[in-house]
Structure 1
């Protein structure tokens, strides 16, 4: 069974909001409230070193603040150039009002 790590209270992120997390032994991750479903993806853009937490979220697409490339937050797939490599996505679960990273 996967180990779980508490990230935050689900109520602390409204739909469309996001928060960056740095967990021991993991690359920085970005938690996004996607219309009530929580998505956890890599925070670092795969094109250049830039934090996606500083980018713009439009629906299911997050835009890198550095060069404007974009990714689908549900699949991690690169959607527009210059981004070509997908982001990693991670499993999360909400239990008793807390969002957990399952890793």
Structure 2
């Protein structure tokens, strides 16, 4: 059986440098998923909840390959979910996402 992913949004739904959250009810994951669009137009998917305190990474700032949490400015790598700025000390989960003809397809729990 081939897994084709879940269509979760349109590319145009996410302005460059911003993100949106997709409900865990849609994705079947333990956390909501933040779809984040870097200024180069690339789209990335991370667990939405910051690992430092409860805040939505989809509401953070996206630039230079990172998302910055809106609460305490922890930074996470868009590609791997690794911590790149304190106060967070634990990385988050990255998920594979594909752009197909302007649509965003998420592969929950599959590494990018």
Q: Flag whether TM exceeds 0.5 (same fold).
A: yes
Match of 2:21 in 1: 20
State the secondary structure of the residue aligned to 1:48.
Answer: coil
Root mean square deviation of aligned Cα = 1.6
1:1-103 alignment, distance < 5 Å = 1-24=2-25, 25-26=28-29, 27-34=31-38, 35-103=40-108
Q: Tell me the TM-score normalized by structure 2.
A: 0.80
Runs of 4 or more consecutive aligned structure 1 residues displaced over 6 Å after TM superposition = none
> 2:100, 2:69 → 1: CA distance?
31
3-state SS of paired residue (2:12) = helix
Q: Which runs of 5+ in 2 are unaligned?
A: none
SS at match of 1:57: strand
Asked whether the equivalents of residues 16 and 59 of structure 1 are also in contact (C-alpha less than 8 Å), the reply is no
Q: Say which structure is richer in strand.
A: 1
* Alpha-carbon distance between aligned partners in 1 of 2:14 and 2:59, rounded to the nearest angstrom: 16
Deviation of 1:15 (Å): 2.2
Give the paired residue count: 103
Partners of 2:77 and 2:90 in 1: CA distance? 12
TM norm structure 1: 0.86
